[in-house]
Amino acid sequence: MEEYLDDFIVNLTTVNSGSAHTADSYRRDISRFIDFCGQEGCESFNDVDRTVVMGYINHLRTSGKGVSDRTLARNLSSLRSFYRYLNERGLAEGNPFTAVKSPKKTAKLPDFLYEDDVDRFLGCFDLNDETEYRNRTMFEIMYGCGMRVSEVAGLKISDIDFSNKVISIVGKGSKMRIVPFYPVIEELLTHYLQSIRPHFLNGETHDFVFVSNRGKKLTSRGIEYILKKSVSDHGLVMQIHPHTLRHSFATHLLSAGVDIRVVQELLGHANLSTTQIYTHVSLDHLREAYDKAFEK
Protein backbone atom coordinates (compact mmCIF):
# COMPACT_ATOMS: atom_id res chain seq x y z
CA MET A 1 0.00 0.00 0.00
CA GLU A 2 2.90 2.35 0.75
CA GLU A 3 4.29 1.61 -2.71
CA TYR A 4 1.09 2.91 -4.32
CA LEU A 5 1.37 6.05 -2.22
CA ASP A 6 4.92 6.67 -3.46
CA ASP A 7 3.74 6.31 -7.07
CA PHE A 8 0.84 8.69 -6.40
CA ILE A 9 3.16 11.36 -4.96
CA VAL A 10 5.51 11.05 -7.96
CA ASN A 11 2.53 11.46 -10.29
CA LEU A 12 1.32 14.46 -8.29
CA THR A 13 4.62 16.31 -8.46
CA THR A 14 5.57 15.47 -12.07
CA VAL A 15 2.38 15.06 -14.08
CA ASN A 16 0.10 17.37 -12.10
CA SER A 17 2.83 19.87 -11.17
CA GLY A 18 1.91 19.79 -7.50
CA SER A 19 4.10 21.79 -5.12
CA ALA A 20 6.37 20.12 -2.57
CA HIS A 21 4.17 21.52 0.20
CA THR A 22 1.05 19.99 -1.38
CA ALA A 23 2.82 16.66 -1.87
CA ASP A 24 3.87 16.59 1.80
CA SER A 25 0.32 17.31 2.87
CA TYR A 26 -1.06 14.47 0.72
CA ARG A 27 1.58 12.09 2.00
CA ARG A 28 0.80 12.83 5.65
CA ASP A 29 -2.95 12.46 5.16
CA ILE A 30 -2.74 9.22 3.19
CA SER A 31 0.01 7.64 5.33
CA ARG A 32 -2.16 8.20 8.40
CA PHE A 33 -5.02 6.40 6.65
CA ILE A 34 -2.78 3.51 5.55
CA ASP A 35 -1.62 3.04 9.14
CA PHE A 36 -5.23 2.92 10.28
CA CYS A 37 -6.07 0.36 7.58
CA GLY A 38 -3.24 -1.86 8.81
CA GLN A 39 -4.64 -1.70 12.34
CA GLU A 40 -8.04 -2.68 10.99
CA GLY A 41 -6.63 -5.71 9.13
CA CYS A 42 -7.13 -4.34 5.61
CA GLU A 43 -4.61 -6.01 3.32
CA SER A 44 -5.45 -3.96 0.21
CA PHE A 45 -7.35 -0.82 -0.70
CA ASN A 46 -10.19 -3.04 -1.96
CA ASP A 47 -10.78 -4.14 1.63
CA VAL A 48 -11.76 -0.61 2.59
CA ASP A 49 -15.53 -0.21 2.85
CA ARG A 50 -17.87 2.39 4.32
CA THR A 51 -17.50 0.89 7.80
CA VAL A 52 -13.72 1.34 7.67
CA VAL A 53 -14.10 4.87 6.33
CA MET A 54 -16.55 5.89 9.07
CA GLY A 55 -14.29 4.28 11.65
CA TYR A 56 -11.39 6.31 10.33
CA ILE A 57 -13.36 9.55 10.49
CA ASN A 58 -14.29 8.76 14.08
CA HIS A 59 -10.63 8.02 14.78
CA LEU A 60 -9.61 11.43 13.45
CA ARG A 61 -12.32 13.13 15.47
CA THR A 62 -11.53 11.45 18.78
CA SER A 63 -7.76 10.87 18.77
CA GLY A 64 -5.87 13.36 20.90
CA LYS A 65 -7.50 16.78 20.62
CA GLY A 66 -9.37 15.70 17.50
CA VAL A 67 -9.17 17.41 14.12
CA SER A 68 -11.07 20.50 13.04
CA ASP A 69 -13.72 20.45 10.30
CA ARG A 70 -11.22 22.11 7.97
CA THR A 71 -8.56 19.45 8.60
CA LEU A 72 -11.09 16.63 8.23
CA ALA A 73 -12.30 18.08 4.92
CA ARG A 74 -8.69 18.25 3.68
CA ASN A 75 -8.04 14.62 4.68
CA LEU A 76 -11.16 13.41 2.88
CA SER A 77 -10.22 15.39 -0.22
CA SER A 78 -6.73 13.85 -0.22
CA LEU A 79 -8.15 10.34 0.07
CA ARG A 80 -10.72 10.90 -2.69
CA SER A 81 -7.93 12.05 -5.01
CA PHE A 82 -5.78 9.07 -4.05
CA TYR A 83 -8.58 6.60 -4.76
CA ARG A 84 -9.29 8.24 -8.12
CA TYR A 85 -5.64 7.65 -8.97
CA LEU A 86 -5.94 3.99 -7.89
CA ASN A 87 -9.15 3.56 -9.92
CA GLU A 88 -7.62 5.01 -13.08
CA ARG A 89 -4.79 2.48 -12.88
CA GLY A 90 -6.92 -0.49 -11.93
CA LEU A 91 -5.33 -0.72 -8.50
CA ALA A 92 -8.62 -0.48 -6.62
CA GLU A 93 -12.29 -1.03 -7.35
CA GLY A 94 -14.59 1.81 -6.43
CA ASN A 95 -13.98 4.82 -4.24
CA PRO A 96 -15.34 4.46 -0.69
CA PHE A 97 -14.85 8.19 -0.06
CA THR A 98 -17.08 9.38 -2.88
CA ALA A 99 -20.31 9.13 -0.89
CA VAL A 100 -18.81 10.64 2.26
CA LYS A 101 -19.68 14.31 2.63
CA SER A 102 -17.05 16.69 3.91
CA PRO A 103 -18.06 18.95 6.79
CA LYS A 104 -19.11 22.40 5.69
CA LYS A 105 -16.46 25.01 6.20
CA THR A 106 -17.84 27.60 8.56
CA ALA A 107 -16.88 31.17 7.88
CA LYS A 108 -14.61 32.54 10.56
CA LEU A 109 -16.12 35.68 12.00
CA PRO A 110 -13.71 38.60 11.76
CA ASP A 111 -12.06 39.96 14.88
CA PHE A 112 -13.04 43.46 15.94
CA LEU A 113 -12.57 45.89 18.81
CA TYR A 114 -15.28 47.55 20.85
CA GLU A 115 -15.47 51.32 20.55
CA ASP A 116 -13.80 51.92 23.91
CA ASP A 117 -10.95 49.55 22.95
CA VAL A 118 -10.40 51.54 19.75
CA ASP A 119 -10.35 54.75 21.78
CA ARG A 120 -7.88 53.22 24.25
CA PHE A 121 -5.59 52.07 21.44
CA LEU A 122 -5.65 55.28 19.42
CA GLY A 123 -5.29 57.35 22.58
CA CYS A 124 -2.09 55.63 23.71
CA PHE A 125 0.23 57.45 21.30
CA ASP A 126 2.35 60.38 22.46
CA LEU A 127 1.55 63.15 19.97
CA ASN A 128 4.62 65.12 21.09
CA ASP A 129 6.80 62.42 19.53
CA GLU A 130 7.00 62.65 15.73
CA THR A 131 7.16 58.90 15.14
CA GLU A 132 4.26 58.29 17.50
CA TYR A 133 2.31 61.06 15.77
CA ARG A 134 2.83 59.37 12.42
CA ASN A 135 1.72 56.04 13.85
CA ARG A 136 -1.41 57.52 15.43
CA THR A 137 -2.31 59.21 12.15
CA MET A 138 -1.72 56.01 10.21
CA PHE A 139 -3.86 53.82 12.46
CA GLU A 140 -6.56 56.47 12.86
CA ILE A 141 -7.01 56.57 9.09
CA MET A 142 -6.86 52.79 8.85
CA TYR A 143 -9.74 52.56 11.32
CA GLY A 144 -11.70 55.68 10.36
CA CYS A 145 -11.68 54.92 6.64
CA GLY A 146 -11.78 51.11 6.82
CA MET A 147 -8.58 50.78 4.81
CA ARG A 148 -6.61 47.62 4.18
CA VAL A 149 -2.98 47.74 5.25
CA SER A 150 -1.89 47.58 1.60
CA GLU A 151 -4.12 50.57 0.84
CA VAL A 152 -2.57 52.59 3.65
CA ALA A 153 0.93 51.66 2.45
CA GLY A 154 0.04 52.76 -1.09
CA LEU A 155 -1.79 55.96 -0.11
CA LYS A 156 -0.49 59.08 -1.87
CA ILE A 157 -0.91 62.75 -1.02
CA SER A 158 -2.67 63.21 -4.36
CA ASP A 159 -5.34 60.73 -3.19
CA ILE A 160 -6.44 63.07 -0.40
CA ASP A 161 -9.04 65.76 -1.13
CA PHE A 162 -9.03 68.08 1.88
CA SER A 163 -11.63 70.43 0.41
CA ASN A 164 -14.25 67.66 0.23
CA LYS A 165 -12.77 65.63 3.11
CA VAL A 166 -12.58 62.41 1.10
CA ILE A 167 -9.87 59.93 0.15
CA SER A 168 -9.65 58.09 -3.17
CA ILE A 169 -8.60 54.53 -2.39
CA VAL A 170 -7.35 52.01 -4.94
CA GLY A 171 -8.40 48.61 -3.60
CA LYS A 172 -8.27 45.03 -4.78
CA GLY A 173 -8.44 44.58 -8.53
CA SER A 174 -7.52 48.27 -8.96
CA LYS A 175 -11.08 49.13 -7.96
CA MET A 176 -11.45 52.77 -6.92
CA ARG A 177 -13.67 53.92 -4.06
CA ILE A 178 -14.22 57.25 -2.35
CA VAL A 179 -14.31 57.31 1.45
CA PRO A 180 -14.94 60.39 3.61
CA PHE A 181 -12.86 61.15 6.69
CA TYR A 182 -13.85 62.82 9.95
CA PRO A 183 -12.37 66.01 11.52
CA VAL A 184 -9.86 64.21 13.77
CA ILE A 185 -8.32 62.55 10.72
CA GLU A 186 -8.24 65.91 8.91
CA GLU A 187 -6.42 67.52 11.81
CA LEU A 188 -3.93 64.68 12.21
CA LEU A 189 -3.21 64.41 8.49
CA THR A 190 -2.78 68.15 8.02
CA HIS A 191 -0.21 68.47 10.79
CA TYR A 192 1.58 65.26 9.80
CA LEU A 193 1.92 66.27 6.14
CA GLN A 194 2.96 69.84 6.90
CA SER A 195 5.23 69.44 9.90
CA ILE A 196 6.31 65.81 10.39
CA ARG A 197 6.57 64.02 7.05
CA PRO A 198 9.08 66.62 5.69
CA HIS A 199 11.42 65.79 8.61
CA PHE A 200 11.34 62.11 7.68
CA LEU A 201 11.95 62.48 3.93
CA ASN A 202 15.73 62.97 4.11
CA GLY A 203 15.94 64.17 0.53
CA GLU A 204 13.52 61.54 -0.84
CA THR A 205 11.01 62.84 -3.36
CA HIS A 206 7.84 60.81 -3.69
CA ASP A 207 4.13 61.17 -3.09
CA PHE A 208 3.53 58.37 -0.56
CA VAL A 209 1.92 59.59 2.64
CA PHE A 210 3.40 57.30 5.25
CA VAL A 211 7.17 57.04 5.29
CA SER A 212 9.84 55.58 7.55
CA ASN A 213 12.29 57.67 9.55
CA ARG A 214 14.64 57.29 6.56
CA GLY A 215 12.10 58.71 4.14
CA LYS A 216 11.25 55.43 2.42
CA LYS A 217 7.68 54.37 1.74
CA LEU A 218 6.37 52.16 4.54
CA THR A 219 5.51 48.65 3.37
CA SER A 220 2.52 46.57 4.48
CA ARG A 221 4.87 44.37 6.49
CA GLY A 222 6.44 47.43 8.08
CA ILE A 223 3.06 48.83 9.12
CA GLU A 224 2.07 45.48 10.58
CA TYR A 225 5.29 45.42 12.60
CA ILE A 226 4.70 48.97 13.87
CA LEU A 227 1.17 48.02 14.93
CA LYS A 228 2.32 44.96 16.83
CA LYS A 229 5.16 46.88 18.48
CA SER A 230 2.85 49.76 19.43
CA VAL A 231 0.48 47.40 21.24
CA SER A 232 3.39 45.79 23.07
CA ASP A 233 5.24 49.02 23.92
CA HIS A 234 2.15 50.63 25.41
CA GLY A 235 1.31 47.58 27.51
CA LEU A 236 -2.10 47.03 25.91
CA VAL A 237 -3.78 43.71 26.59
CA MET A 238 -5.52 43.24 23.26
CA GLN A 239 -4.97 41.33 20.04
CA ILE A 240 -4.78 43.73 17.09
CA HIS A 241 -3.65 43.08 13.55
CA PRO A 242 -4.14 45.49 10.62
CA HIS A 243 -7.41 43.93 9.49
CA THR A 244 -8.82 44.21 13.02
CA LEU A 245 -9.15 47.97 12.54
CA ARG A 246 -10.94 47.55 9.21
CA HIS A 247 -13.24 44.92 10.74
CA SER A 248 -13.98 47.28 13.63
CA PHE A 249 -14.84 50.09 11.20
CA ALA A 250 -17.42 47.91 9.44
CA THR A 251 -18.88 46.48 12.65
CA HIS A 252 -19.28 49.88 14.29
CA LEU A 253 -21.01 51.34 11.22
CA LEU A 254 -23.52 48.50 11.12
CA SER A 255 -24.09 48.70 14.86
CA ALA A 256 -24.85 52.40 14.42
CA GLY A 257 -27.53 51.57 11.87
CA VAL A 258 -25.70 52.46 8.65
CA ASP A 259 -27.23 50.72 5.62
CA ILE A 260 -25.30 47.61 4.68
CA ARG A 261 -24.98 48.70 1.05
CA VAL A 262 -23.30 51.91 2.17
CA VAL A 263 -20.88 49.84 4.26
CA GLN A 264 -20.28 47.63 1.22
CA GLU A 265 -19.35 50.68 -0.82
CA LEU A 266 -17.07 52.08 1.87
CA LEU A 267 -15.24 48.76 2.22
CA GLY A 268 -14.95 48.28 -1.53
CA HIS A 269 -16.58 44.85 -1.51
CA ALA A 270 -17.66 43.60 -4.93
CA ASN A 271 -20.34 41.35 -3.42
CA LEU A 272 -22.81 42.17 -0.67
CA SER A 273 -22.37 38.66 0.74
CA THR A 274 -18.82 39.59 1.76
CA THR A 275 -20.12 42.53 3.77
CA GLN A 276 -22.95 40.51 5.33
CA ILE A 277 -20.53 38.58 7.54
CA TYR A 278 -20.22 41.77 9.60
CA THR A 279 -23.93 41.66 10.37
CA HIS A 280 -23.26 38.48 12.36
CA VAL A 281 -20.52 40.23 14.30
CA SER A 282 -22.79 43.20 14.89
CA LEU A 283 -25.63 40.98 16.13
CA ASP A 284 -23.24 39.16 18.47
CA HIS A 285 -22.13 42.55 19.73
CA LEU A 286 -25.73 43.57 20.42
CA ARG A 287 -26.55 40.25 22.07
CA GLU A 288 -23.54 40.53 24.38
CA ALA A 289 -24.52 44.09 25.33
CA TYR A 290 -28.13 42.99 25.90
CA ASP A 291 -27.15 40.04 28.08
CA LYS A 292 -24.77 42.19 30.08
CA ALA A 293 -27.48 44.80 30.70
CA PHE A 294 -29.94 42.21 32.02
CA GLU A 295 -27.60 39.83 33.80
CA LYS A 296 -28.65 39.08 37.37
Active-site annotation, residues: 148, 172, 243, 246, 269, 278
* Maximal C-alpha separation, the chain: 77
For 41-52, give one letter per residue: b (16+ CB within 10 A) or e. Answer: ebeebeebeeeb
Among 157, 178, 161, which Cα is nearest to 169's?
A: 178
Among 81, 74, 79, 73, which Cα is nearest to 101's?
A: 73
* CA–CA separation, 148 and 143 (whole Å): 9
Among 41, 11, 39, which Cα is nearest to 23's?
A: 11
* CA–CA separation, 48 and 206 (whole Å): 65
DSSP string, 179-210: EE--HHHHHHHHHIIIIIHHHHHTT----BS-
Q: At what angle do helices 183-191 and 130-144 cross, to 10 degrees?
A: 150
Q: Which amino acid, residue 269?
A: H
